[in-house]
Structure 1
Amino acid sequence: MTATIIDITRDHDIALRRASDVLGEGFPIAIPTETVYGLAADATNPVAITRIYETKGRPRFNPLICHMADLEMAEHYAVFDPISRKLAELFWPGPLTIILPLKAESGIHSLATAGLDTVGIRLPKGFASELIRAFGKPLAAPSANTSGKVSPTSAQHVADDLGEKLKLILDGGSAPVGVESTIVRVEDGAIRLLRPGGVAAEEIEKATGLTVIRPEGPAAIIEAPGMLASHYAPGAAVRLNADHIEAGEALINFGSRSPKGIEHSAAVFDLSPSGDLAEAASNLFDYLKRADATGATRIAVSPIPDHGLGEAINDRLARAAAPRE
């Protein structure tokens, strides 16, 4: 597969229709934004989100920024405190991502939020906003590059890197900002900077009259989406690579295994009866929550292959099973 590239300036209406069609089929596309080119897919569709991770390679369950068409759409999915709303009114559309509490039953899939109860939201400028409005759903969109490579600021950058993995690349010229969005979170009436980016902290301070709390060293910077590992742990203890089930344990199975003592389990949830790692990835957070909701004191997890998406699944399971402070 080689991506079709459509110039949104020359073929605006064709680009809009084709992009909506491919997104509706559950596939990611590359879109221009004012920051960098994004690898965008339906934020409510777990298969589409899984394909984002697969396309980028060596996927991790970092939460993905969800892009909205306007403030009204954003308010449908997240809860705004007064300061966050002021930030939105001041800087949206634009290169600012705000971490907000996710509304219950919002429709954004847990794979996009990495199982967190928050969601990073941004309103992009230009064609991306128009596309989201036409599609009618938020788009999860990390940068459109192989994990670990330099972020793309042109359609050609995307084509050189991911052209054989995508169906569609929309060409909007060079990204005017050229760096990713700034990420902030409002806590206890203060604005915390989680990642510097397209909006300077000083600009936020000047506009709001509030001091922006900078990160204290490298460890604080990784609090940006995807680095809050402690949030992955359920209430119940987690036991990995289980080859037997003890009475009262809830089992998260994989590949229709029949571990010894399975008949004694409190409940059984199979991430993928057929052993499909993509299906397992899309079910992981949901099934951890379901297993926890059974009231079992411990969750036993069958062995998961440690390749492809299995590497990411095992990474998150290891964090969930880590000793509690």
Structure 2
Amino acid sequence: MDATRTASVEEAAAALGAGRLVILPTETVYGLAADASNPGAVAAIFEAKGRPRFNPLISHVADLEAAERIAVFDIRARRLAERFWPGPLTLVLPVRADTPVCDLARAGLETVAVRVPAHPLARAVLQAFGGPVVAPSANRSGRPSPTTFADAVEETGAATAAALDGGPCEVGLESTVVALLDEARLLRPGAVTRAEIEAEIGPLAEAEADARRSPGRLARHYSPKAPVRLDATAPQPGEAYLAFGPGEHRWNLSPAGDLRQAAARLFAYLREADRTDPTAIAVAPIPHEGLGEAINDRLKRAAGYVG
């Protein structure tokens, strides 16, 4: 792929139809996209990312009607879809017997993860392509997700036939993942918060029973090369510092203490700080409520604190 050129929607849809990979912007992070029905194309994603094949992929579709062609919706799923789609929410649901989503994309499970993204370029490509598209983050496995076009191309651009530049990602964290099988379970926190989901369908159970059905649950994930030190009130010599709240710092996630701004900047700042070759990346304490649950989840996995 020519890294200096961004493709058109039509070129991207044609590349997907030919079984090739495409860098696709979404409101969450940049994705490495392929035809979800094509096992060869899906296998190419796992190869390009170095991703373990037991880790399922999310199928992206253009609208609720398309989602209902690949998954079985109950009243809870329909309520969440109508409230939060298009947007940064993934639903893990029973798969339809005639689903076009291939077994490899689902990691051999009887469930499928599905989302309707909000980014206009992603939606235009999905409409033009006409089928489900898997699009995990366009980074090598374990690395921070790319939230800019340049970072996505740097990570996996060599494996793609086309790439679309949609500007910096507005959300900056991967989608919230909710499983709706027996109990409703929060498998991965994101920009659609626990409280917002519970306001629609009631209490959420913990993830353990269905954790294997969601991406992003590895104990070490989203990691820069430098070690990450959390809840740091100041950097030690040689460390880069990601601040949060008032103060003059090179990488301040949000001087105003805005969690949405912090989420949008998190992965880009981790990458920028890592390029300075620090002894470690120290990160200021981040509140845990609301969107802070998702930010802290990513930081703990970046530091390898989850296990």
Distance 1:185 1:145, change over 3 A: same
1:143 Cα deviation (Å)?
0.4
In the alignment, which residue of structure 2 is the partner of 1:27?
Answer: 20
In the alignment, which residue of structure 2 is the partner of 1:154?
Answer: 148
Q: Distance in 2 between matches of 1:209 and 1:81?
A: 12
One-letter code aligned to 2:170 = P
Q: Is the 8 A contact 1:182 1:195 kept in 2?
A: yes
Q: Is the 8 A contact 2:88 2:174 kept in 1?
A: yes
One-letter code aligned to 1:5 = R
Residues 1:41 and 2:61 aligned together:
no
Residues 1:196 and 2:185 aligned together:
no
Q: Is the 8 A contact 1:4 1:169 kept in 2?
A: no
User: Which residue of the other structure, out of 101, 123, 126, is the alignment partner of 1:129?
Assistant: 123
Residues 1:90 and 2:83 aligned together:
yes
In the alignment, which residue of structure 2 is the partner of 1:80?
Answer: 73
In the alignment, which residue of structure 1 is the partner of 2:61?
Answer: 68
Q: Distance in 2 between matches of 1:2 and 1:144?
A: 16
1:3 Cα deviation (Å)?
4.0
Q: Distance in 1 between matches of 2:213 and 2:201?
A: 23
Residues 1:114 and 2:103 aligned together:
no
Ranges of 4+ aligned residues in structure 1 off by more than 6 Å: none
Q: Superposed, which structure 2 residues align to 1:1-325 within 5 Å? A: 2-3=2-3, 5-6=5-6, 15-125=8-118, 126-188=120-182, 190-206=183-199, 208=200, 210-215=202-207, 222-225=211-214
Secondary structure (helix, strand or coil) at the match of 2:145 reads: coil
| Structure 1 gaps, min length 5 | 7-13, 229-325
Deviation digits for residues 121-163 of structure 1 (CA, Å, limit 9, x no counterpart): 0000122112111101110111000011100001000122222
Deviation digits for residues 180-205 of structure 1 (CA, Å, limit 9, x no counterpart): 001001233x4210111121101112
Secondary structure (helix, strand or coil) at the match of 1:72 reads: helix
Q: Distance in 2 between matches of 1:159 and 1:227?
A: 21
In the alignment, which residue of structure 2 is the partner of 1:302?
Answer: none
Secondary structure (helix, strand or coil) at the match of 1:119 reads: strand
Deviation digits for residues 228-268 of structure 1 (CA, Å, limit 9, x no counterpart): 9xxxxxxxxxxxxxxxxxxxxxxxxxxxxxxxxxxxxxxxx
| % identity of equivalent residues | 49
Provide the TM-score with structure 1 as the length reference: 0.63
In the alignment, which residue of structure 2 is the partner of 1:314?
Answer: none
Provide the TM-score with structure 2 as the length reference: 0.66
Distance 1:220 1:121, change over 3 A: same
Secondary structure (helix, strand or coil) at the match of 2:159 reads: coil
1:51 Cα deviation (Å)?
0.8
Secondary structure (helix, strand or coil) at the match of 1:163 reads: helix
Distance 1:222 1:94, change over 3 A: same
Q: Is the 8 A contact 1:100 1:119 kept in 2?
A: yes
| Structure 2 gaps, min length 5 | 218-307
1:210 Cα deviation (Å)?
0.7
Q: Distance in 2 between matches of 1:24 and 1:133?
A: 13
1:5 Cα deviation (Å)?
3.2
Q: Distance in 1 between matches of 2:123 and 2:67?
A: 12
Deviation digits for residues 85-144 of structure 1 (CA, Å, limit 9, x no counterpart): 111111111100000111112121111111111100000012211211110111011100
In the alignment, which residue of structure 1 is the partner of 2:274?
Answer: none
Q: Is the 8 A contact 1:3 1:165 kept in 2?
A: no
Q: Distance in 1 between matches of 2:216 and 2:188?
A: 12
Cα RMSD (Å): 2.0
Distance 1:62 1:26, change over 3 A: same
Q: Is the 8 A contact 1:114 1:226 kept in 2?
A: no
Q: Distance in 1 between matches of 2:204 and 2:21?
A: 34
| Structure possessing the higher radius of gyration over alpha carbons | 1
1:58 Cα deviation (Å)?
4.7
1:61 Cα deviation (Å)?
2.9
Q: Distance in 1 between matches of 2:43 and 2:24?
A: 18
